[in-house]
Structure 1
């Protein structure tokens, strides 16, 4: 085998080494993986605003009733909507029968009530009230030809009332709680329908609802009779006993809608004119 000289060996090795260097320099290294961006921190959804559930017995026009679409409407409803706007709260009205309305508040099924509720000392023992928002009084409805001029004339007559209302209380005091002549109904309109049919001789109820019914049912041929013995009454928004925060919100909202004229506009919408000056708060009892 021919021998390879040292010079030749060095030349050959140098050539091979240069080739290896060129190959190494021409090789592309894979790019380092890009660092992934940190995932955005999860943000908790904002809590939904509380919607206050308002109980109302929607059978007491013009204060609260249902229109042909089933919506609850009336003076009380408009007042609460205006108060809620001032107080910065949302409200939802739920038709609640009168006989169970106070239990629904006590059990927490309703946050507050608006239903022509007279503020009384007895009721204050189990619930709290906002500032008064309406002055009321009892009124007697009779047929136009009835010879009834005062409350005492009802002593021995059949009288219709809405169960558990002020009218129920005053006639019970006159005739006796167990008098068979006291006819109790689920609503004042039902009592007035019974008067129209001749089933009772008179109906005693809050003036606002009686006047509204008489004006809108001329065919019934009713007249109204007032009596000085009827105590002045005031309606309030009822809240659960001890719920001072909501009580104050509602009272503040009422004060604001009275101050800016909103209350007078609502009152005139339903009763034709702005209200007379408010009477002092009294302890009388829808």
Structure 2
């Protein structure tokens, strides 16, 4: 399971405060806390910085490279910002987030070719898929299009598009079904999601997130954008690995529980 830290996103009020104030210590703290918690990549989204999106993106990318060994997920809808961030992060493992079937596809795949980056693909062709059948159909079309563009399966991250259960009671079931479809039909393509979206607007979100994480990992989810620093998420990950058969003799789980008792 590839953990992608979500905390360097300008949609998070405290993060946006740090970006706006150019608070280097606060941003370094977010970087190091996520790295220490096991994040392999850090998602960076500075879109809400408006006209300062590019400057903020380059600043955060530089801090990640200086203060961690994490890869970087460049998360922007602006191909020009993405291109400059790719150049600034040269030599660092990269994931480009994102391309749809219709938007930014050529620009993002070209950047992936020139940099060796992986690509998050969204199964959207102008309309969001909502049913499982729609998701699977569009995911298949997305993978085939990315393959034709020259991307190998192992550098494709297919986003199963998590929608909150507060407005769509079937969203978790459909997302898990989409993960299963991908695992069965495209075993070398990675699947991903913004995991905490599943509980948006609901009380005690960690309970929903934990239940969904376990089901999704059982189905074959291979990566997720989440908060690796959250104790509740750390507990959920440790337990989900056991349930999904990814922790031989439950040793990682036992170690995790014992470390919390010290």
> Does the alignment reach a TM-score above 0.5?
no
Higher relative contact order (CA 8 A, sep 6+): 1
- Greater helix share, structure number: 2
TM-score (norm 1): 0.27
TM-score (norm 2): 0.28
Pair member with larger Rg = 1
